[in-house]
Amino acid sequence: MTKHMPDIACQPHSIPQPKLNWVGMSGIELPILINSAHSPIRLSSTTQAYVNLVDPTSKGIHMSRLYLLLDQMATEQTLTPARVKTILEKFVSSHELLSDQAFVEFRFDYYERRSSLLSSNAGWKHYPATLRGELNQGQFHCEISLEVPYSSTCPCSAALSRQLIQQAFETQFKAQASLDYEQVFNWLGTPEGICATPHSQRSYAQVKLAITDHDDLDFSRWISLIENSLQTPVQAAVKREDEQEFARLNASNLMFCEDAARRLQTTLNAEPHLTDFWVRVNHLESLHPHDAVAIVTKGIDKGYIAEPNLMGLFHR
């Protein structure tokens, strides 16, 4: 025999109450399926889910419905933008007359094996990633975020280092009437020959991309696009030939944070189906105790402010 249990949440307010922008849950632990370069992979995510509350007499939403829908729809099938849209539609339909907007966010670490620069090795690299979706009165907006590490070498520091090397060369060989090739060659291979090195640092590109429900969720492609644009990806498995190539790439791609941001802006602007993006590059300075940062969006000429969520949502 089923015992009757009171449901206070279903009892309406006697006096109309203000509407609420978002009500829901954060910190939900969900195992999700995400497409990788070869096949779907199971990843642990931290998820949050919300609907708005527009009924002035209702005490609240049905949070268990949001959780159960996530459990049914986000863990057993591969997440795609189209799948996210369906989840949001179910959020709203499960709250008929209560809500007409919905939001969901999945945060996870995307892991992928990336090849070494020259050797035949490969190693695992992880990229913090986010998949977000919002449904606002039938209008669907979707966004993916990626954080991609790379190396940046300061152009100013490189120029100052070259000057010191020139001065050391002048001190060593100025008094000689003629230069001996082998002597110069050997000197360049000594610590005195390279008496200064430019400062470089691990850096991070935080990239948000607006996508549609018709797009594939191809994290591997976006990672490659970002790393190929910057040209100095950090390495997992490294032999000496890889480290030497890494040094060559850094010397060939000297970058202020402004340079890195402009490279990514040019690369992403060339993507014909990308309607919007937001990029922040962070150079974790080895010279300074603070970071160097540059931010750019696709709509910079439209007067957009820099630090938004693409969908205009508040930071959570």
Question: What sections of 174-315 are H helices per DSSP?
Answer: 181-188, 219-230, 240-252, 257-269
Where is pLDDT greater, at 213 or 144? 144
Topology adopted by domain 17-154+199-302: Urate Oxidase (3.10.270)
pLDDT of residue 216: 84
164-185: pLDDT as tens digits? 999 999 999 999 989 999 999 9
Query: Bridge-partner residues for 25, per DSSP?
Result: 49
Rounded mean pLDDT, 264-268: 97
pLDDT of residue 307: 43
Rounded mean pLDDT, 275-299: 93
Q: How many CB atoms lie within 10 A of CB 296?
A: 21
Strands 276-283 and 200-211, sheet pairing:
antiparallel
- Sorted by where each begins, the domain ranges of the chain are 17-154+199-302, 156-188
**At 311, is the pLDDT very low, low, confident or very high (cuts 50, 70, 90)?**
very low
The angle subtended at Cα 16 by Cα 13 and Cα 21, nearest 5°, is 100
pLDDT of residue 39: 80
**At 305, is the pLDDT very low, low, confident or very high (cuts 50, 70, 90)?**
very low
pLDDT over 50 (residue 309): no
pLDDT of residue 9: 64
CA neighbor of 271 nearest in space, from 233, 195, 218: 218
